[in-house]
Amino acid sequence: MSLEGAIKDQARRLGFTLAGVTTPGPPLHLSTFERWLDAERHGDMHYLADEGARARRGDPRLILPECKSILVLAAPYADPKSAEASERPDPTGRVAAYAWGNDYHNIFPKKLQELIVFIEERVGHPVPNRYYTDTGPILERDLAQRAGLGWIGKNTCLINPKQGSYFLLAEILLGIDLEPDPPFTTDHCGTCTRCIDACPTACILPDRTIDARRCISYLTIELKNDIPDELRPLLGDWVFGCDVCQMVCPWNRFASPQGDASFSPRPDTPTPNLIRELELTPETFNRKFKNSPVKRAKRRGYLRNVAVALGNSQDFKAIQALENALEDSESMIREHASWAIESIKKAQNE
């Protein structure tokens, strides 16, 4: 077996169902990303516009000078349709499927390190390397397309024709020559506009980028301040992330229903009871979401989202919990709870 074949086989044993190799050349869509930054569609994610990071995205060898090849990997997570909310007396929310289980940032590094050890054992010497999983200044989906893993869809997700788009990416920059895979050059989106039509906030743009400032995933995870009033009703019941544009994508009929066991859903995470969530103290929040992606929003951001979802539920049973939240030490939680109370009362009076 070739070295490339052996590496891909080992990657599959570690849970990466897709693996491909590309070169460290300039990313094909770098100019698109630069225009997106210049239009300030990245919102408050100022780290994306850092000058040093911008330079490194254009040349991975600024990250690893010895880089000769880049191994791109993907591991699947569960289809969000596999955990639809059951009938419950209290309103429930929705969490993006990638965040149902343990945080991939904690899971992938060990697997990537194991793969590096395997590569070094195969070649018989240490190999300069650097690995990332959504943590470094590289254009992951661009590299994945160039490594043959799929194409970048209209919803900006990487889509594989046999596995859909429910997977997480990781990359290893390597100081050895590997035979690159042919890039994925076919666009299988065609005339389909399901993701664009279904997006609750109309954040998907014609150039296959999104206006993050309107994206529910950005608003519920990355935004650290108040959610704009006019966007709150559009969040629906999403309290962490959003899967809408992927759920309507016809290519996800090929997605794995369960995904990698490492991301198995935790109890009450996919569709949490919103009234109970609003009662989470700093201690119970940290305990519930230890090693979970949800911790990225922090308690104040998560309960802000929960309050908005309760307001959108128009369920009068939520009033007491929201009134209790008016006494919370976090002003942002208090403000969104107040908005939710007004929204429910207004709906009840109409």
Q: What is the pLDDT of residue 108?
A: 97
Closest by CA position to 262, among listed 97, 101, 95: 101
Chain mean pLDDT for the chain: 95
**Alpha-carbon distances, residue 98 vs 45, 173, 249, 261 (angstroms):** 20, 24, 16, 12
> What amino acid occupies position 133?
T
Q: Domain-by-domain residue ranges, the chain? A: 3-83+97-174, 273-350
Q: What is the pLDDT of residue 81?
A: 87
Global pTM value: 0.95
Q: What is the pLDDT of residue 83?
A: 73
Low-confidence ranges of the chain (pLDDT < 70): 84-87, 350
pLDDT per position as a tens digit, 17-54: 999 999 999 999 999 999 999 999 999 999 999 999 99
Facing residues of 10 across strands? none
The C-alpha atoms of residue 102 and residue 290 are separated, in whole angstroms, by: 8
Give the residue numbers marked as catalytic: 134
Record the tokens describing residue 261, joined without a space: 């066991």
Angle at 11 between CA 15 and CA 252, to 5 degrees: 50
- The secondary structure of 305-335, three-state, reads HHHHHHHHHCCHHHHHHHHHHCCCCCHHHHH
Distance from chain centroid for Cα 226: 21
pLDDT per position as a tens digit, 287-346: 999 999 999 999 999 999 999 999 999 999 999 999 999 999 999 999 999 999 999 999
State in words which class domain 273-350 has: mainly alpha
Q: What is the pLDDT of residue 99?
A: 97
> What amino acid occupies position 163?
Q
